Amino acid sequence: MRIATWNVNSIKARLSTVLEVLGAIECDVVCLQELKCETDGFPYMELEELGWTCAVHGQKSYNGVAILSKYPLDDVQKGLSTLEDDQSRYIEALVMAETPIRVGAIYLPNGNPAPGVKYDYKLEWMEALEGHARQLLKQEEAFVLCGDYNVIPGIDDSWDETVWADDALALPETRQAFRRLRNLGLTDVFDMCDGRAHQYTFWDYQGGAFPKDHGIRIDHLLCSPQAADRLSGVEIYSKARELEKPSDHVPVIGTFQD
């Protein structure tokens, strides 16, 4: 089973790009972030015609997350169980494959400018995600938390650490919160299957960032021990950034044995 995470930076503005990439990556499950549309405005018809089952948690103009699956979806939950939040940043579902697996789609707050109320919200959200992950781990089932975490985990995950040192994505408190989440017993799919330095998932639109490879790695898949036992590979699909109307993020794909 191939499971991907991808921040599409507006599903409507980039629908043709999204459809092209979905066809190219040949995944069974794709978690999308930053839809920038309400739930009712999601392009269900175009995706369902291609065989996707869609679970969507949208919001007008901002945020928004979705799970696309080639299998039926069950037990769909919107929002974190540990946080009252009016922003559409989390959706979860059980993928009813022959060997079921639970997936969560995450769009974690950016947190800039930091310090400030936006950064406080980021840290509160990360604490709530940690609490939710604790609850999931108690169920002892295979799950993958996929998303734009807006976290640069370490100094080798950006093209220039000094550029990002004061950014909310790389502040010590951010990295500490991400480590606490991983230290619950979750496996970083990229670290386990690749782990090379300076492999990026995001390049800004300005300053020729992509041709210069001035990127950062902020899109991650974290999985439970039961899912890690099935993990066999990972891919960053950087070709998506070369398209005519790309997102500034690219898909990250984990492969799990059925």
Predicted TM-score of the model (pTM): 0.98
Element (H, E) at 45: helix 44-48
Q: Which of 57, 90, 148, 219 is the catalytic position? A: 148
Q: How confident is the model at residue 184 (pLDDT cuts 50, 70, 90)?
A: very high
User: Binding site membership: which residues?
Assistant: 7, 34, 148, 150, 248-249
Per-residue model confidence as pLDDT tens digits over 24-33: 999 999 999 9
Element (H, E) at 255: strand 252-256
Q: Is 148 a catalytic residue?
A: yes
Domains with residue ranges and CATH for the chain:
2-256 (3.60.10.10)
Cβ burial 49-64 (10 Å sphere, 16+ → b, else e): eeebbebbbbbeeebb
Q: Which of 28, 90, 107, 219 is the catalytic position? A: 107
pLDDT at 258 over 90: no
CA 182 to chain centre: 15
| Six token digits for residue 90 | 């989390």
What's the average model confidence in pLDDT over 183-203?
Answer: 98
- Residues present in the chain in total: 258
Find tokens 């945020």 and name the residue.
Answer: 63
CA 49 to chain centre: 24
Per-residue model confidence as pLDDT tens digits over 32-50: 999 999 999 999 999 999 9
Mean residue pLDDT across the chain: 98
